[in-house]
């Protein structure tokens, strides 16, 4: 499971380096030194690239593709490298101009996605938040990171993105831990309205809402919140950064995790009962 920059970006760099090493060996270059001599590099450069220490430039990847006799692999190698570069984005850089640009940036992704799979362990997902609940969460983010306060505009954009929920042609699989129902953002009135809204959203035919009870015998441990967009990419929100995963094998791994978590969830009447219990506990 992705839990840090090193286990996301660094693992991806190493995987790319291993692929380049295998290409080099298959082409008859027994050592990095032999390949480096042919490419006009130092041996240390080839070693750093193949061990994931250094991100290869596009021209470096072209050298591997051409010299190893596999020029057709070049576009895929470049795409993989670009995905690694985009994978890890620190919150301070992402939110440096406030939260509204961050909310706006995801609008095209939301609009083209037909199947959403969302898991959140401690908060209600943004796609089903009320304005007051969203304002409470965003206010705390702004305060913690000391970034420009554009909470009103950011909330407007987030709520506007929820229009995709009304599209009966899309599918939404939403999983939350029971903890998310009990964790307070805002006062009791804000939380009651948020949980009531969750009951309303759960009644939509295109939405499957599952609540994982705190007492369940777990088949999968709690993870960071993650969103799967079709089968194309996953966005994981860590404490300090946003990780974007696009490698098909990793997207598939998150889909498996989601499926495992889904087996532990309560749905329908049982899920509604857990939400009502959380509302009553506000009393």
Question: Is the predicted pLDDT of residue 151 greater than 80, yes or no?
Answer: yes
Q: 265 near 212, Cβ under 8 Å?
A: yes
Q: How far apart are CA 231 and CA 106, in angstroms?
A: 16
Question: Could you give the percent of the chain with pLDDT greater than 70?
Answer: 94
Band the pLDDT of 91: cuts 50, 70, 90.
low
Predicted pLDDT at 4: 45
- Cα dihedral angle (196, 206, 154, 136), rounded to 10 degrees? 20
Band the pLDDT of 8: cuts 50, 70, 90.
low
Band the pLDDT of 1: cuts 50, 70, 90.
very low
Predicted pLDDT at 114: 98
SS3 (DSSP) at 78: helix
pTM for this model (two decimals): 0.76
SS3 (DSSP) at 191: helix
Q: 210 near 267, Cβ under 8 Å?
A: yes
Question: Could you give the percent of the chain with pLDDT greater than 90?
Answer: 75
Predicted pLDDT at 84: 78
Predicted pLDDT at 246: 83
Q: How far apart are CA 253 and CA 232, in angstroms?
A: 12
Question: Is the predicted pLDDT of residue 184 greater than 80, yes or no?
Answer: yes
**Which own/partner pairs from 190-193 qualify as long-range (CB within 8 Å, at least 24 positions apart)?**
190/130, 190/132, 190/133, 190/136, 191/133, 191/279, 191/282, 192/279, 192/282, 193/130, 193/132, 193/133
Higher per-residue confidence, 238 vs 168: 168
Q: Which residues have C-beta within 8 Å of that of residue 141, sequence separation ≥ 6?
A: 95, 99, 147
Predicted pLDDT at 160: 97
Q: Mean pLDDT, to the nearest integer, of 178-190? A: 97
Predicted pLDDT at 95: 73
Predicted pLDDT at 173: 98
Predicted pLDDT at 201: 97
Mean pLDDT of the chain: 91
Q: Mean pLDDT, to the nearest integer, of 138-158? A: 94
Residue 48 tokens read as 């750093």
Q: How far apart are CA 90 and CA 5, in angstroms?
A: 10
Predicted pLDDT at 5: 44
What end-to-end distance do the CA atoms of the chain give, in Å?
38
Dihedral angle sign, alpha carbons of residues 103, 136, 165, 222: positive
Residue in 204, 199, 201, 179 with CA at minimum distance from that of residue 269? 199
Higher per-residue confidence, 96 vs 191: 191
Predicted pLDDT at 228: 98
Q: Mean pLDDT, to the nearest integer, of 102-130? A: 96
Band the pLDDT of 179: cuts 50, 70, 90.
very high
Predicted pLDDT at 3: 42
Band the pLDDT of 82: cuts 50, 70, 90.
confident
Measured N-to-C along each axis, helices 11-26 and 32-39 cross at an angle, to the nearest 10 degrees, of 80
Domains of the chain from N-terminus onward = 5-87 (1.10.260.40), 95-280 (3.30.870.10)
Q: Distance of CA 275 to CAs 179, 195, 264, Å?
A: 11, 7, 16
Band the pLDDT of 134: cuts 50, 70, 90.
very high
Band the pLDDT of 245: cuts 50, 70, 90.
confident
Q: How far apart are CA 34 and CA 56, in angstroms?
A: 18
């Amino acid at each position: 499971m992705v839990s840090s920059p090193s286990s996301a970006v660094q693992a991806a760099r190493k995987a790319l380096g291993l692929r380049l090493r295998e290409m080099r060996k298959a082409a008859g270059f027994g050592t990095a030194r032999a390949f480096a001599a042919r490419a006009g590099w130092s041996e240390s450069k080839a070693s750093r690239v193949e061990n994931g220490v250094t991100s290869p430039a596009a021209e470096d990847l072209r050298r591997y593709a051409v010299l190893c006799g596999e020029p057709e692999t070049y576009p895929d190698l470049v795409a993989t490298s670009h995905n690694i570069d985009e994978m890890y984005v620190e919150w301070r850089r992402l939110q440096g101009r406030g939260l509204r640009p961050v909310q706006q940036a995801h609008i095209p992704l939301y609009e083209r996605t037909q199947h959403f799979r969302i898991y959140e362990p401690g908060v209600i997902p943004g796609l089903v938040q009320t304005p007051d609940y969203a304002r409470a969460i965003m206010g705390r983010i702004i305060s913690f990171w000391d970034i420009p306060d554009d909470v009103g505009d950011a909330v407007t954009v987030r709520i506007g993105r929820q229009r995709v929920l009304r599209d009966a042609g899309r599918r939404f699989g939403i999983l939350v831990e029971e903890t998310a129902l009990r964790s307070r953002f805002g006062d009791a009135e804000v939380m009651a309205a948020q949980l009531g809204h969750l009951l309303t959203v759960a009644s939509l035919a295109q939405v499957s809402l599952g609540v994982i009870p705190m007492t369940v015998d777990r088949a999968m441990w709690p993870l960071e919140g993650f969103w799967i967009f079709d089968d194309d990419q996953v966005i994981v929100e860590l404490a300090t950064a946003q990780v974007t995963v696009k490698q098909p094998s990793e997207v598939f791994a998150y889909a498996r995790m989601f499926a495992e978590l889904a087996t532990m969830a309560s749905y329908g009447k049982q899920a509604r009962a857990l939400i009502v219990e959380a509302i009553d506990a506000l009393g």
